[in-house]
Copies of this chain bind each other. A is one copy, B any other.
Amino acid sequence: MRKVAIIGVGMTPFGEHWEEGLRDLAVQAGIQAISDAGISGDKIDAGYIGTMASGRLVGQEHIGGLLADYMGLNPIPITRVEGACASGSLALRQGFMAVASGMHELVVVGGVEKMTDLGVNTVSDILGGAGDQEWELFLGATFPGIYALMAKRHMYEYGTTEEMMAAVAVKNHKNGAKNKYAQFQNEITLDTVLKSKMIADPLKVFDCSPISDGAAGLILAPMDVAQSYTKKPIEIIATAQASDALALHSRETMSGLRATQVAGKKAFEMAKLSHKDIDFAEIHDCFTIAEIMAIEDLGFFKKGQGGKATLDGKTALGSEIPVNTSGGLKACGHPVGATGIKQAVEAVWQLRGQAEGRQVKDAHIGLTHNVGGSGATAVVHIYKNQ
């Protein structure tokens, strides 16, 4: 297998884009990534795009063909990959294999979602397609409801409190306030979260990531030629994906995600590293409880200690393991197909030293963690600078 590096990144601001469609957002991010890599489009010989539900959200499937067309990249192959909210990371993983295998040289990888054109109830229904719709959504279990069940169980088993969960949102808003691409660039307090509207007990509206539009893109190249394009290629030293039961009721546990545990273990094995070597992590915080479970499942904290650690500032900027410097899904926004790629863009910015006011000092190795649905898919990537 050839080594693979990221040589270019780009993203649109995440938020509500009323004047732009899915194709406009994806093209913007892709062109930015190409421009950042300092290459011309005709150097690219394949592409992958992650999007969860373009069919239901905007009536358009065949997003690979659409983007080959609108990015002016015909006749190269571009392929859509889907794994619910992990679609972006799955696209990155396929791009990695396309380069690693020797099938392709320069590959553009993107993620996109256009979610705000429909009403919130319709979008909530569509997002329910990420879980087991026959056994969950059709019977009324929306995603906030499913994560609320996990939160309740985590509170019961480990004494996790609503304040600890709120601390995740406070930290991520603090980071998002330093990120000009974030949907919410305002700081909030524990009180803001705790007094906000209840959505699904114990999760309040500030425990939930928003509905967003946005896109992000990357350019991949074989490591051995990456330095001819950029002085700071970022190597992808691990890619791992795992699955679990689609419906919550079939899982072995409700207070953690087995797919995250397995993918994390595989990624550390592939990188020949442990959680101690990671300088920062972008974590899938679709709900505040999700970040707490993930930092435990990945081994950064012992099971049950993630909430207290967050409240104690152990995942803040300046701590040993800053989590979600981008603002995470909570504050940076969560256009579902784009999230996995945005995490990689943030990792690259950190590892190049371009993260401005939220820069992690001496960042050398970063990790991203992206979850599909309520945990039936999890993907972990690890990145290293030179």
Q: Which residues of A contact B (CB under 8 A)?
A: 1, 21, 52-53, 55-56, 58-66, 68-70, 73-84, 90, 93-94, 97-98, 100-103, 126, 128-134, 137-138, 241-247, 250, 258-259, 262, 372-373, 376-377
How far does the alpha carbon of A66 sit from the alpha carbon of B243 in the complex, in Å?
Answer: 9
Q: Would A243 and B69 be within 8 Å (CB), given that A83-B79, A97-B103, A98-B97 are in contact? A: yes
Residue of B nearest to A98 (CB): B97
Q: Would A81 and B84 be within 8 Å (CB), given that A66-B376, A69-B246 are in contact? A: no
| A72 to B: closest C-beta gap in Å | 10
Known A1-B101, A74-B243, A79-B93; 14 more pairs at CB < 8 Å: A55-B55, A62-B129, A62-B377, A63-B82, A64-B82, A64-B243, A64-B377, A65-B244, A69-B246, A75-B244, A78-B243, A79-B90, A82-B82, A101-B103
Chain B residues, CB < 8 A from A78: 243
Chain B residues, CB < 8 A from A134: 21, 60
A-B contacts, 22 listed (Cβ < 8 Å): A56-B56, A60-B134, A62-B83, A62-B129, A65-B244, A66-B376, A68-B243, A68-B376, A69-B246, A75-B244, A76-B242, A77-B241, A77-B242, A79-B81, A80-B82, A81-B82, A81-B94, A94-B94, A94-B97, A97-B101, A100-B102, A101-B101
| A45 to B: closest C-beta gap in Å | 11
Residue of B nearest to A250 (CB): B69
Partner of A61, one of B69, B73, B75, B82: B82
Chain B residues, CB < 8 A from A133: 58-60
This protein's copies in its complex: 2
| A200 to B: closest C-beta gap in Å | 20
Partner of A246, one of B21, B65, B76: B65
Q: Would A75 and B246 be within 8 Å (CB), given that A55-B53, A55-B56, A100-B101 are in contact? A: no
The 5 A-B pairs of least Cβ separation, nearest first, read A65-B376, A101-B101, A77-B241, A68-B243, A62-B84
How far does the alpha carbon of A207 sit from the alpha carbon of B160 in the complex, in Å?
Answer: 63
How far does the alpha carbon of A82 sit from the alpha carbon of B64 in the complex, in Å?
Answer: 8
Q: Would A75 and B242 be within 8 Å (CB), given that A55-B126, A377-B64 are in contact? A: yes
Chain B residues, CB < 8 A from A62: 52, 82-84, 129-131, 246, 372-373, 376-377
* Contact call A243/B65, Cβ cutoff below 8 A: yes
Residue of B nearest to A83 (CB): B64
| A107 to B: closest C-beta gap in Å | 11
Chain B residues, CB < 8 A from A58: 133
| A237 to B: closest C-beta gap in Å | 14
Interface centre among A79, A103, A250 (most CB of B within 10 A): A79
